[in-house]
Amino acid sequence: MVDIKPEQSIELLKALHILTRDGKMNQDSRRKLKQVYHLFQFIEPLLKQLAQQNHPIALVDHGAGKSYLGFILYDLFFKSLQDASHIYGIESRQELVENSRALAKQCEFARMSFLHLTVAEAIHTPELPKTVDIVTALHACDTATDDAIHFALEKKAQFVVVVPCCQAEVAGELRKIKSQQLHDPLTEIWRHPIHTREFGSQLTNVLRCLQLEAHGYQVSVTELVGWEHSMKNELIIATYKNLPRRKPTERLQQVLSKVGLEHMQQRFNVHA
């Protein structure tokens, strides 16, 4: 079961189709709401830290989709702020952008914007601030999580909160080099196709954490909700602390070299 927060707008949940018109919730909707609420519990303390800095908060949600996360963050936190704090949803599907714009207007959420952009365009567009405070990405598929991290680094975000999904790029690279690495017994870890997929996913998130640490962030990794609710369940939270960069940079290079993926150094912002 998931309890709707008392300050949550019921009409918003109906508009997001999390609740039916008569206020009911099906199993899929309950799962979605539980995930977003759990993520809110992790993000709310970060937002409170930012609010104490006495300047408007700029939050960018990448791969926003239907913007469940953005709307609930606005309803539960941003709506009460008496300043210019703003949520920006970045989405590559025009129809979803238009739908989110219409819903924000309907709900009178004036400090929400939805942009039909790629990540590369988002980095350079004048429609976004030069720096942002927090970047989120909930279930951004494959390289979309990496794109969100790249955006966060370029925009000097204080916080990065991502829940990766179905990452296939590294697994694909491991398949290409499998025959070249057979002399190394470690290749047994990803010899079978299902292990290639799972190890590739695990390795991708390890590299993402090292990448963030190599840029001065403190990183924590936990699960979002119980595995019975989602198999894509890893939550990565990074806080910029200007920490030493040399050791994680070296570790990142060493890991890539160990598994034969030196050619991916640029992908993870590693300078040889």
Alpha-carbon distance of 205 to 195, in angstroms, equals 15
Alpha-carbon distance of 82 to 205, in angstroms, equals 37
Q: What percent of the chain has pLDDT over 90?
A: 67
pLDDT at 157: 98
**Top CATH class, 1-165:** alpha beta
Query: Of the ranges 10-14, 30-34, 62-66, 193-197, which one carries the lowest mean pLDDT score?
Result: 30-34
Phi, psi of 32 (to 5 degrees): -60, -45
> What pLDDT digit, counting tens, does each position of 12-45 carry?
999 998 988 888 888 888 888 888 899 999 999 9
Report the range out of 34-43, 133-142, 158-167, 213-222 with the highest average pLDDT: 213-222
Would you place residue 179 in the very low, low, confident or very high pLDDT band (cuts 50, 70, 90)? confident
> What pLDDT digit, counting tens, does each position of 198-213 carry?
999 999 999 999 999 9
Higher pLDDT, 232 or 237: 237
Q: Give me the chain's average pLDDT, please.
A: 90
**How is the chain split into domains, by residue range?**
1-165, 168-217+242-272
pLDDT at 227: 45
Residue 55 has pLDDT above 70, yes or no: yes
pLDDT at 271: 62
